[in-house]
Amino acid sequence: MKKKSVAVFKCLIDFIFPRHCYGCRNTLEFYEKNLCLGCQIKLPHTSLHLTHKNLLYEQLKFRIPLEAATSLFYFEKNGVLAHLIHLLKYSGEKKIGAFLGSWLGDHLEESPFFNEIDGIVPVPLHPVKKRKRGYNQADLIAHALSKKINSPVLSKILIRVKNTSALAQLGESEREQEVQNAFELNSNRLNHPQHLLLVDDVLTTGATLIACANALAKNGNIKLSIAVLACRL
C-alpha cells in the first residue's frame, strides 16, 4: 500500500512538474530517472569491468603501469551518449555526471578488480577552463563513484599546470605532445602506498590519462587503475 501511494505521489508531481529525458527530451515516467528506458537501451555498454585483461587494459598496459581498466560505454561519435557527454561538458548539465558516475559505480561494485581502491583521482582541469565551465566534469563523476565504492575523492593530488588546447581537433601524436608535462604531482598529498583510481569522462587515444598516470607514478608508492564513462577502442 505504501509503495502504491509513493508511485501515485510521484505521478502527481510529474504531472505538475514534468521531467524530460536528457537523450530524446520525451517526458519521463515516474520510475525513470534522467534517461528514458528507450535511450538507456541504445547506450553501447562494454561489460569490460567483468574481464581483467580486457581490450582497454591491453591497449594501455604497455604505456603505463596498470592494475585494471574499464569503461562503462563505447564512445560513438553520434547518438545518445555523445549528446549526453556534450550536455555534461558544455551545457552545465551536472546531473548527467552524477547519474552516469553512479552507473559506473554500480559496475565497479560488480567487478572483482576494483574492490581495493584507496582513493579516486579525477583528471584535473586547468584553472582557466574550470572557471569558465564552472566545474570539472571528472570531479562530478568521481564523487558519484565515491558514494558507490566508499573511497575518498583525492582531487588535490594532481595539478594541471598547462592550459592545453582542445584535444578533439588533434591527431594522436599531436595530443601526446600537447599534454606532455601538462600535469604535476602534489607530493604533499600522497605520503603512503595507495591503489588509486584515475577517472575521466572519455578516453580517446589515452594521451591525457597516460600523462596523468606518468605524473602520479613519480611518487613511486602507488598502484593505478583507470575508469572512464566512455572509450574508443
Closest CA to 185 of 135, 143, 139, 220: 220
Q: Any bridge partners for residue 120, and if so which?
A: 153, 197
Closest CA to 121 of 54, 180, 204, 209: 209
Q: Which three cell numbers stand for residue 124?
A: 584535473
pTM of the predicted model, to two decimals? 0.89
Closest CA to 190 of 215, 225, 210, 163: 215
Please give the pLDDT value at position 220: 73
- Beta strand 194-203 with 119-122 is parallel
Question: Region 97-113: what's the mean pLDDT?
Answer: 97
| d(C-alpha 112, C-alpha 125), whole Å | 30
Query: What is the tens place of the pLDDT at every residue in 162-197?
Result: 887 666 666 667 777 888 888 998 866 666 668 999
